[in-house]
Structure 1
Amino acid sequence: MDRAAVPFRVYPILALGLLSFAISPILVRLVGDEAPGLAIAVWRTGIAVGLLAPAALRPIARLRYGLRELMLILLAGVFLGLHFVVWILSLFYTSVASASVLVCLSPVFLAALGFALLKERLSMPVVLAIGMAVLGAMLMSWGDHVQAFAGRKPLLGNMLALSGALLVSLYLLIGRVVRQQTAWLPYVFLLYLAAALTALILALLLKTPLTGYSLRFYGLCALMALGPQILGHGAFNYSVKYLPAAWLGLLSLLEPVGASILAYVLFHEMPSPFSLLGMLLVLGAVGFAVRYEHLQLRRQLSAPT
């Protein structure tokens, strides 16, 4: 990764996006059992489209997308929408711990697919850091598992969760390609529009009720749209132009760390020893990878030309 080519603004944008991701589980927790997860996905993605539409429609009208670009953006949106849906459905068939562990494998998919499809090479220390961070995320997920509940159909649920990890990896990899030539706002608007339509179609097919909830529910969905959707995924879709998707996958594992800290502050939920160990592994792995790349950059800049 050529960090010298990464604008400084990318780093605060990423930090804001990661903070927004950390708030997402807290907002879902506040919704409680009022609505099924698929209804949350529909309203979250739909409100995000509505919030972006006034600013996005004019730039989109001036652009001249090629058919290939347009199809790739819509495909990425379908992958993102399906990711939301299969992740939610997996929780109905397998344990929360199993689903959380499997969806944490997205950085592994990103590293492998990025190398196979985009020829993006990662140094061995960064690959090891990704492995350590994934292990830490798995420990955190397992530490949160307090009930011996395997689920009604654990094999189906596990496959859905694993599919969720693969889908989010494909969505980011497509963004890595398309964002090299596409402005951020038109890209994310079309991306979220495709994701919202995907979630809506599946909700209608599964006969999920989408209305009749409290104003508090719609307000929380609006916060999810503004925070995790527009700021969180938006930050990643902005940064994917400059950073390999595998790096973004590694940084995404900071989400459960931030969410656990917020849960402790807001709900006085003390993480288990396994979760604390997992947090330390994730933080250590990300810190090591960032420090390693920083030292590599310094060596490149100080080397004689």
Structure 2
Amino acid sequence: MNISKSTSRTSQPVVLTSLMIGLLAISFSAIFIEWSTAPAAVIGMYRLWMSVLLLSPFALKRWREFGRLSLRDIGLVCLSGVFLGLHFLFWIQSLKMTSVASSMIIIALEPIFVLIGSVILFGSRVSKSGIISMLFAILGCAVVASADLGKGGGHLYGDFLSLVGTLAVSIYMLAGQKVRASVSSTTYNVLVFLVAGLVLFLFNVMTKTSLVSYSGHNWLMFTLLAVVSTVLGHGLFNWLLDTVSATTISMTILGEPVGAIVLAYFLLGQPVLLLQGVGSVMCLIGVFWFLRTNSSRQSDDEENPAGQETDSAYRGDGPERFDAGHA
């Protein structure tokens, strides 16, 4: 795979190192969550709001972008924020109930769900290869879930929550794609993170969950999620989009479940069952196949302008595709 759009050979080691650092940073997201004893909504709320504090200085440099937002854009930002908040609520809770392997593999289906939504909402077309790869990936997730059958209803419910969280983050991507074409990813993230954090704040208030009575260890995990997984991890990917292709970033992010599973094995002592391993490989092959198929169609569309609109419905028009959605 050609990793570079415009980098020289001398800069390729820097690019590769940055890709690996970014991958490691987002892979640690599930580990930090497992290491925290705080409720899911509290973890998500502080991760989002701390990220806002870190990103705000960069967003304020683009303050004119805020004025370009129409009422429709603001409505879409709010809708995106609601579903991002729900995503964190369901996905983080899934990690509390099932294994990292099961939760992370299921959420790897996000790009497939986004394309399905694009087909329904925007009339995007899917090739036969795309359909086969999607079905193969979904079958792989079913195999992963089957490994949890003997672990009790709690693990299966955790798998279900991960699936719901994946659907929520897919809606978040679809709802905000028009706004992401108008403003930078930093500005968009700050606005959406604010709304998503507010959703989780209201959930905590309604459920009478404590907002501040947590140990220093938990506050450290909140901070690491914001600094390492969100700002450093996805920040590196956004920065690299100036020099490497979006497909390369997609393929790198595809390694997140693998990285999280390996880290969970060594740091959390979570073994990978045979069915989980088989299903994980099937799912990742299916998603990889899907992304490669979509990338090929993208190249065809660049030669055929009539296909550009269809492809952009999935891709979100560039860097904003990698705006710290779930990890």
TM range (shorter): 0.7 to 0.9
Alignment of 1:266-277 (within 5 A): 266-267=267-268, 269-277=270-278
With over 3 angstroms needed to count, the CA separation of the structure-2 counterparts of 1:276 and 1:184, relative to structure 1, is same
| Correspondence 1:81 to 2:72 | no
CA 1:266–1:39: 2 relative to 1, 3 Å: same
Name 2:117's counterpart in structure 1: 113
1:36 corresponds to 2:33: no
Q: Which residue of 2 aligns with 1:3?
A: none
TM-score after normalising by structure 1: 0.74
Match of residue 138 from structure 2: 134
1:190 aligned partner? 191
Residue 214 of structure 1 aligns with an amino acid whose one-letter code is S
Deviations 1:115-134 (A, max 9, x none): 12123223221222222223
Q: Equivalent residue for 1:280?
A: 281
**Paired residue secondary structure (1:59):** coil
Aligned-residue RMSD, C-alpha: 4.1
- Structure-2 residue corresponding to 1:22: 27
Deviation at 1:58, TM superposition (A): 3.6
**Is the contact made by 2:134 and 2:286 (CA closer than 8 Å) also made in structure 1?**
yes
Aligned to 1:203: 204
SS in 1 for 2:260: helix
- Pairing 1:217-228 to 2, within 5 Å after superposition: 217-228=218-229
Query: How big is the shift at 1:195?
Result: 0.8
Counterpart CA distance in 2 for 1:211 and 1:168 is 27
Shift of 1:292: 4.5
Report the Cα distance in structure 2 between the residues aligned to 1:152 and 1:286, rounded to whole angstroms: 24
**Structure 1 residues 17 and 278: alpha-carbon distance in aligned structure 2, compared to 1, 3 A threshold:** farther
Partners in 2 of 1:300 and 1:107 — Cα distance?
Answer: 19
Could you give the per-residue CA deviations for residues 34-78 of structure 1, whole angstroms, max 9, x where no partner exists?
A: 322222112111211111122222423554211111221121011
Instruction: Quote the Cα distance in structure 2 between the aligned partners of 1:129 and 1:152.
Output: 26
Which amino acid in the other structure matches residue 189 of structure 2?
Answer: V
| Alpha-carbon shift at residue 208 of structure 1 (Å) | 0.9
Q: Contact 2:29–2:229 (CA<8 Å) still a contact in 1? A: yes
Measured after TM superposition, the shift of residue 87 of structure 1 is 3.8
In structure 2, the partner of 1:53 is 56
Amino acid at match of 2:84: L
Give the partner amino acid of 1:96.
T
In the alignment, what sits opposite 2:98? 96
Letter in 1 for 2:173: L
Identify if the C-alpha distance between structure 1 residues 236 and 283 changes in structure 2 by more than 3 Å, giving closer, same or farther.
same
What are the residue-to-residue correspondences of 1:149-188 with 2, within 5 Å? Answer: 149-151=152-154, 162-188=163-189
Distance 2:163 2:288 in 1: 27
For 1:91 and 1:26, the matched residues in 2 are separated by 9
Q: Using the alignment, how far apart are the partners of 2:209 and 2:294 within structure 1? A: 46
- Does the CA-based 8 Å contact 1:44-1:224 persist in structure 2? yes
Aligned letter for 2:131?
Answer: V
Relative distance call for 1:236 and 1:179 in structure 2 (3 A) is farther
**Closer/same/farther in 2, CA of residues 149 and 37 from structure 1, 3 Å limit:** same
**2 CA distance for matches of 1:80 and 1:21?**
17
**How big is the shift at 1:8?**
7.1
TM-score normalised to the size of structure 2?
0.70
Q: 8 Å contact 2:109–2:287 — kept in the other structure?
A: no
Partners of 2:170 and 2:262 lie apart in 1 by 26
Does structure 2 retain, via aligned residues, the 8 Å contact 1:134–1:253? no
Query: Unpaired segments of 5 or more residues in structure 1?
Result: 1-5
- Identity across aligned pairs (percent)? 31
Shift of 1:114: 0.6
Within 2, Cα distance between the matches of 1:14 and 1:123? 30
Once residues 123 and 301 of structure 2 are traced to their aligned partners in structure 1, the CA distance between those partners, rounded to angstroms, is 21
Maintained 8 Å contact 1:172/1:237: no
The separation in 2 between residues aligned to 1:285 and 1:152, in whole angstroms, is 24
